[in-house]
Structure formats: structure tokens, C-alpha cells
Amino acid sequence: MTANQPERPVLAVVGPTGLVGQAVIDVLATRADAWDDVRLFGSDRSVGRRMLFGVDELEVEPLDSESFAGVDVAIFATPADVSAKWAPFATASDCLVVDTSAAFRDDDDVPLVVPEVNAAAAFEHPRGMVAMPSGPAIVMLPVLATLHEHWSLTHVTATSMQAVTGAGKRGAERLYEEVSALTGHPRIGQMPGDVRRYVADLPDDSPFPAPIVSNVVPWVGEHVGGGWSSEENDIAHELRDVLALPQLRVAVTCVQVPIVTTHMSTLHVSFDKKVKPDDARRAIVEGANGAIVMPDENGTDWPTPADAVGTDPVWVGRVRQVESNPHTLDFIVCGDNIRKGAALNALQIAEMLVGVGRYAQA
């Protein structure tokens, strides 16, 4: 480092062996020059494990109360209980925290941030922490924000079709187990209860309330009354919070689908002003929102999880309008829930907080 070069910050990743933690490392390897050092902290069973980092390897260190000395920003890619326990140790060491879990989403002193939507909120962090919305909300928000800027949102109705990795590694493992249980049964799904019978001998620790293979489960989360699930209420709250529209009318239905990675949502949105689909497409394309609009000129060019998985953009398609209502739009959004829905969003916030990478001062 020369005398003319500013000192680069140090980044820590807590929980590097989980799905989101590994994705953070993968994304980080493509933009590591922004950081002077990258350190990995994990549980006892992960300590000593070597993680591939580009062409190099990083070793997982023990997580303890002194881990964050000398660290500028820590990304917590951990379950909520782990974040709640260890994030205060980080902030006590003057280390900023970016948390991917739900641990601090309801804390008024911890901003909920999607950089393409409300970047300035990241710097209003009385506790030294920044939280993130859930993956489904992160995938919806950049597009909703762009549309609101032009036509003023009044109502959002969304159906969120969620990949099993929204339930973590165990979600993916359970889908694979159920797929294996059905292997060799080509007539499965043609008789009442046959799927349940074939998976009945599997361990009863499924994160899903019904079989997920060869099925669609219209429920994600806990029951919170009125027929709504916690996931549905949480997404509605997160949309209002990040858009700074506390009175926005939002109705969300969450559906668990047998997809490993990548969430898709259908949206019906209403505006205060009249909108044309072509103008909406143009606004999304021109917006600084990380979204890509597929043209769909022949009715077959639209995003799917199979195509969007492993990519960073939010993919938009099927932008259309009911002829009788020029104040509405219908469209779909699709995005990798592990990358953009968690890892990339967290890394963008971390870079923004310390002014490195694309957020570096000229």
C-alpha cells in the first residue's frame, strides 16, 4: 500500500459454511480488492474448515467475544438466534453489522435496507446494525420502487412462490429426500394420498407442513390469525418499511414450491396515476434497480427459476394490463433468493457502509 492509497477496511463473514455464507464468499471473491482482509468466523464444528475463495482458500476461525477486534464490517449469514447472540459483540468492538436474518427486522433502531431502494437509510443505524428484508421482499422491492417513483403505488397484491432453500439447507435436503422416495414410481401423483404414503417413512423433521415433492403447499411460516401466515405479514411489513409507505395496502399469499433455489412472485399493483405497460417496461429498464426486463414479444420470453438461478439481477416479465383499468399493472419478478435475495444485498450494504467497491468515493 502506498502513501497515496487509503487504508482498506476489513470484512468478516459469520456463518460462512451455510447457504448464504457460501454465496457471500462466492460473490465476494469477484470483488475482493475492495477489502484489506476477509475473515471467516463459524461454529465449533466449522472451525478449521478451509473455504474456497477465488483461487485461494480462507480458514474458518472460532467465533468468540474478541473475534471482531480490528474488523470494520461483519456480515452475519446466520440463523436469527445466532445473530441475536453475537451481533452485539461485534458492535461493542466498533464493527458495523449487516444481518441477513430476521433477528433485528422489527427493531426501530436497525434500518431495513435494499441498496437500490433506500440506500440512505443504511447510514441511520443507532445500534451499528443494518438488517435486510426477507428474500421474497428483496426480489420485489427494486421494481416496486421504480414504479412508485413514476406512478405512485396505492395497492400491491402478490403471490410469492418460494424455493425450498428459503428454509435453509434443511429445506433443500428434504426436497432431495422426497424426490428419492418417489424415484421408480412413474405413476405418482395420480391417486389421492399417494405422495404422502411414499414419503411417510422419511424422518418427521420436515420444515414444511406437507410433502413438497410433486406438490404445492399454500403456506409458509406460522399462523398469526385471520388466516394469514407470519411470512405473509412479514413481507407486507417489509414492503411498506423499505418503500417508506406505511399506509400502502398490501396483500401477500405465500406458496412453497418444489424449486431448490430462486423465488418468483406474481404481482398485481395499482397506482394513483394512469400507466402504460410500455412506459413501465422503459422505466424499469432505465432505473438503477438491478432489474432486467424480458421483452416477451412472442409470449414465450419470460423468466423462470431454472434460468434465473445463480444470477444477480431481478428478472421481470409478463408486464401487462387489464384494458379496463389503466391504473394497474400485472407482472412477474424472479430472483435467486440466495444471491440477490441475501448474499449480494448484504455485500452491497457492507460496501456502502465503508465506501468501497462501487460505492468508493472518487
The DSSP element (H or E) to which 329 belongs, if any, is strand 328-335
Sorting pLDDT into bands at 50, 70 and 90, what band is 360?
A: low
Which grid coordinates belong to 44?
A: 465449533
Going by C-beta distance under 8 Å and a sequence separation of 6 or more, which residues neighbour residue 20?
A: 77, 100, 338, 342, 343, 346
pLDDT tens readout for residues 265-285: 999 999 999 999 999 999 999
Sorting pLDDT into bands at 50, 70 and 90, what band is 3?
A: very low
Helix (H, G, I), strand (E, B) or coil at 242: helix
Angle at 234 between CA 277 and CA 222, to 5 degrees: 125
pTM of the model as a whole: 0.94
Structural domains of the chain in order of their starting residue, each with its CATH number: 10-133+342-359 (3.40.50.720), 137-337 (3.30.360.10)
d(CA 75, CA 358): 18
Count CB atoms within 10 A of the CB of residue 88: 15
Nearest residue to 51 (alpha-carbon basis) of 24, 23, 17: 17
pLDDT tens readout for residues 7-24: 899 999 999 999 999 999
pLDDT tens readout for residues 274-333: 999 999 999 999 998 899 999 877 778 899 999 999 999 999 999 999 999 999 999 999
